[in-house]
Amino acid sequence: GNLQTTEERISAFKIHGPLQLFFSGFKSDTDNHRENFSSNSGGGLIKGVWTEDLFRTSLGLSTHSEKSGLPGGVTLNDFNLYPKKTYKVLDNGNTRTDQIIFSGESLQGSWRSAFDLNRRLKTIDSDYVTDGYRTRNANQSTRLGLRTWRDWDSKNSHNRLLLGYDNDGWTQDRDGFSQIAQNSYAVYLKHEMVFKPSQTSLFIGARRTAFDRTGRGGVDGTVNEKNTSWETGLSQRLGQTHELYLRLGKSFRLPNGDEFLCYPIYGTCPTVTVNMLQVQQSKDTEFGLKANSSQFAWDLRAYRHELKNEIAIKASSAQMVFSCGHIRAIVPSFNLGSLALRWLAV
């Protein structure tokens, strides 16, 4: 391709009785559209799947690495004169991700059960030669998911009941100076019903999560809370291709690493602000109409998110704002909606 872009991919698949083996690898190189922005990446995956009548398990190992230049920003005047220009001709970075995934699924009577175990290691090294410093960001995460569900039919409906448990552990070390450790535990359930005569679908679900996050380094902070989120909704088929739907719920999100533990050199994160940091919560409403056929698909929806303790970027200063009050109008809390279209030529 252009910009000195080359890509190579290889894959292989083998079946031997109940065992399936899969292998893939890739390599990609490009100069990109700026000076000192060339990128070289590659990786691979090996996965094995064992399948029997009532049991299925899989084990996968993957790796991905990338090395690239870091051209930094450019002024508008210099961009207009020479769009490829960079002031940092030697800055560079490396990223590597290694992951192991182990999963299984089995059928016991009328209940089907499954588990997922995921372990990931990721390092990001950056060498800012022009400014004379280096950074290293090392992340480790482990996730365990357990779930069981049962399907059954009654006289006028089809039902599914789902029960589950999630456990996530995540740590981050920045240059040996700042550390974050987070753990979360959650139980959840969901019930779905489809009424056969009218083709009306109804679901309701709830999730209870307990989590703790601790930051140490130049700026310390702690979050330790419990949260209950839920959602419910219904949909109605309108003929063979159209469906009308409504969803209500309450959700939340944790502050991410950059929001939670700021670099003191930026001078934007007083200790008292970080200690006051809370979990963002949202009351959600969504209403829409969608259609799907062999030739086209579209989805028109309107939605509203009412935010509490919003975490957002303050546009006037490009600094992170940590809100401790009710709804903050840093970004609009009401959205008109969205329209998605897809057309297939046959």
Distance CA 222, CA 206 (A): 26
Q: Quote the pTM value.
A: 0.77
Distance CA 64, CA 97 (A): 5
Q: What is the pLDDT of residue 30?
A: 94
The bridge status of strand 92-108 relative to strand 178-195 is unpaired
Two structure tokens written together for 137: 């960001």
Q: What is the pLDDT of residue 97?
A: 96
Two structure tokens written together for 228: 């209950």
CB proximity list for 218: less than 8 A, separation 6 or greater: 177, 178, 263, 264
Distance CA 305, CA 175 (A): 37
Point out which residues pair with 27 in neighbouring strands: 8, 42
Q: What is the pLDDT of residue 332?
A: 39
Find out whether 243 and 237 touch, Cβ atoms under 8 Å. Answer: yes
Find out whether 80 and 70 touch, Cβ atoms under 8 Å. Answer: no
Q: What is the pLDDT of residue 245?
A: 94
Q: What is the pLDDT of residue 263?
A: 42
- pLDDT by position in tens, the chain (length 346): 998 999 999 999 999 999 999 999 999 999 999 999 999 999 999 999 999 989 999 999 999 999 999 998 899 999 999 999 999 999 999 999 999 999 999 999 999 999 999 999 999 999 999 999 898 989 999 999 999 999 999 888 999 999 999 999 989 888 888 888 889 999 999 999 999 888 899 999 999 999 888 877 765 667 788 889 999 999 999 988 899 999 999 998 876 655 654 444 444 444 444 445 567 889 999 998 988 887 778 888 888 888 887 776 554 544 444 433 333 333 434 445 566 666 655 4
